[in-house]
Amino acid sequence: MKHCADHRLPEILRDTHHRLRRAGTVASETPVVAADLYWSIGALAQCLTAMDEVISQLGINARKQLRAGKFDVQSGPFEGEPDAALLTAVLALARASSSCEPVQAAIGNAQIAVSDLVVARTTSA
């Protein structure tokens, strides 16, 4: 099993986290027009979709490593019990993935709301 130092995923996720925090700071300090808001919500939707794919891939990779005998738990509550550790991890990943669905729906509703505001503003002008 690769250690975190051997894999770029944690580094990429950390960078994404920092970029989103900076974007939040910028958004709180500057006025946003409807087109920017719509685009930003779309970018969040893409990020969430990508995160759901990462969550799914992590579960798939963990199963492959277990089947290949490369998944080992050397400490903690699942020490020496890779099957139990993997089952717990896969269930947690499945819960995380299913939690993405309502957020995706909310983001879609936010895009519709922004579009409706723009239409309402242009028809009343």
DSSP letter string over 2-70? --GGG-SHHHHHHHHHHHHHHHHHHHHHS---HHHHHHHHHHHHHHHHHHHHHHHHHHHHHHHHHHTT-
Mean pLDDT across the chain = 82
pLDDT at 109: 92
Please give the tally of structural domains in the chain: 2
Same domain, yes or no: 12 and 61: no
Same domain, yes or no: 60 and 119: yes
Same domain, yes or no: 113 and 100: yes
Same domain, yes or no: 25 and 37: no
Domain of 17 in residue numbering reads as: 1-30
Per-residue confidence band for 2, with pLDDT thresholds at 50, 70 and 90: very low
Q: Higher confidence at residue 39 or residue 69?
A: 39
Q: What is the pLDDT of residues 84-124, one digit of tens each?
A: 888 888 888 888 888 888 988 999 899 899 888 888 877 87
pLDDT at 125: 64
Q: What is the pTM of this model?
A: 0.66
Same domain, yes or no: 74 and 104: yes
Same domain, yes or no: 10 and 50: no
